[in-house]
Amino acid sequence: MIEVVPGGPMFEGEGDLLVVPVFADLTWGPGAEAAAGRLGPWLDDYFTAREFTGSAGDLVSVPGGDMPYREVAFVGLGDEVDAEGLRRASGTVGRFAGPYRTVCTTLNLVDLTGATEAVVVGYLLGAYHYDAYRSEPKARLNERLELLDASADTAAAIDSATAVARGVSLARDLVNQPAVDKAPDVLAARAGTLNERISVEIVDELEAVERGYGGLLAVGSGATNPPRMVVLRYEPEDAKASVAYVGKGIVFDSGGLSLKPAAMMEAMKTDMAGAATVYGAMQAIAELGLPIRVLGVAPLSENMTGGAAQRPGDVFVAYRGKTVEVLNTDAEGRLVLADGLGIAVESEPDLIVDIATLTGAAKVALGPSIGAIFGNDDDAVAAVEAAARFSGEPMWTMPFERSYRSQLKSTIADIKNIGDRYGGAITAALFLSEFVDDRPWVHLDVAGPARADKAEHYVSAGGTGFGVRTLVELAREMAAKE
């Protein structure tokens, strides 16, 4: 990952690219006026020709003249900038800065609480790329970001932001990897590469039978590659709270015998994004050394069509005894989550949060960029919502309409896995709520924002790592409470 370091005054250092902020109507941000003055009066005409006004998302670069920088980039922040706007502007710079070995910036000096963290996270995520399968990866020279006129607390802010960006990048890598190379056992083994403070338990298909992980086994029954249940534990001695994160880990989803159309399968390597998010969040939390006990549960399976695949109308026994009638094998994520939530309940955490690319209905309701929040506890929902807002990950609290529970009544089992055609995200959440007992619980449906079709600002095309920042911030807030 790119090295991020504190720097000194703007004209006492040197680098390949200097980046300074500009607000709307060419209002100079920190360092921009001084840079413009050194470049000369021709800059005004250049900005006019390029139609650069400082609007959010704008970026122009010019030769550095007699300054100790090869080029100078002016990046627009718009009328009023908040942490997310600064994060996005920095992400735009990160995407632009690939050809420049050393980048120096004054974006961190924008008068905003958390400016340094926003700049570092945005820049590192904007610079993210996944070239593991390219025969000729695109050359990227950028290896250093220097934050100019750094204050005494800059180094600590850099370390915190870098840990979070590393967690997001890990989740992106896991999602972007083709399904053929991340079978459940392979993805389970990746857990062993996480921070050394995290202990890892991997349950194979034989032990899963003994433990009664019926949902995991039912979904994996049609696959050649057997399922795995991964249980991660981060347990610092000074823990002040506890939380359990459960992530859906369907490494490829064909729909099972309720087969998806071909076009709908193209992105189904993404269906383990919830598990990837749990990996990334726990990696960051452990690296940060937050004083909170975290249990991470990742049920990993493929949903395939082999001869032993579960059939519509089958019934299985979920972990801890509830029976489930499966009427649609493509509603499989909730089945593995049922087992994962049962494991989480047994640890008696202060809060359980599950995250999953669960329903197309959530994407229909909220579009491709917004996650859905459901929960059985108003305070818990508010805490997750606040963490998401602080992190800049857009989520919207949805109605947890308990009267819809009647749609899940089965004539032969305790519950069936689908409801009526409409309100599918709600009935999916109601299904999951059956497996959390009375523990405070929040469900995040990220079917839309877990993947992006194109890159913009700090969001990458493909896996986005959506949810990692929220889960890390939630843990940070819970650990800070007295």
CATH number attached to the domain at 3-151: 3.40.220.10
- Active-site amino acid positions: 260, 334
Length of the chain (residues): 482
Rounded to 5°, angle at Cα 108 from 278 and 121: 15
- Taking residues 88-112, report their average pLDDT: 98
Residue 223: C-alpha distances to residues 46, 202, 300, 314 (Å) = 60, 19, 12, 17
**What is the model's pLDDT at position 102?**
98
**What is the model's pLDDT at position 260?**
98
The span from the CA of 278 to the CA of 245, in Å, is 6
Query: Is residue 320 scored above 90 in pLDDT?
Result: yes
Model confidence over 200-247: pLDDT tens digits? 999 999 999 999 999 999 999 999 999 999 999 999 999 999 999 999
Residue 210: C-alpha distances to residues 219, 250, 296, 363, 412 (Å) = 17, 22, 21, 37, 25
The span from the CA of 468 to the CA of 277, in Å, is 5
The span from the CA of 16 to the CA of 108, in Å, is 18
Model confidence over 275-287: pLDDT tens digits? 999 999 999 999 9
**What is the model's pLDDT at position 408?**
98
Model confidence over 407-448: pLDDT tens digits? 999 999 999 999 999 999 999 999 999 999 999 999 999 999
Binned at pLDDT 50, 70 and 90, residue 138 comes out as confident
The answer to whether 3-151 and 176-480 have equal CATH topology is no
pLDDT: which is higher, 140 or 148:
148
State percent of the chain over pLDDT 70.
100
Sequence-separated (6 or more) residues with CB below 8 Å from residue 68? 11, 13, 14, 15
Binned at pLDDT 50, 70 and 90, residue 23 comes out as very high
Query: Is residue 28 scored above 90 in pLDDT?
Result: yes
Q: Is the dihedral of CA 420, 216, 199, 268 positive or negative?
A: negative
**What is the model's pLDDT at position 139?**
87
- Domain locations in the chain? 3-151, 176-480
Could you tell me the strand order of the sheet in which 415-416 lies?
314-317, 323-326, 415-416
Closest by CA position to 358, among listed 424, 282, 309: 424
Architecture field, domain 176-480: 3-Layer(aba) Sandwich (3.40)
Instruction: State whether residue 37 is helix, strand or coil.
Output: helix
**What is the model's pLDDT at position 210?**
98
- Taking residues 336-346, report their average pLDDT: 98
Instruction: Please provide the average confidence, as pLDDT, over all residues in the chain.
Output: 97
- Taking residues 457-479, report their average pLDDT: 98
432-469 core/surface letters (b: 16 or more CB in 10 A; e: else): bbbbbeebbbbbbbbbbbbbbeebebbbbebbbbbbbb
Query: Is residue 482 scored above 70 in pLDDT?
Result: no
Binned at pLDDT 50, 70 and 90, residue 399 comes out as very high
**What is the model's pLDDT at position 268?**
98
**What's the one-letter identity of residue 439?**
R
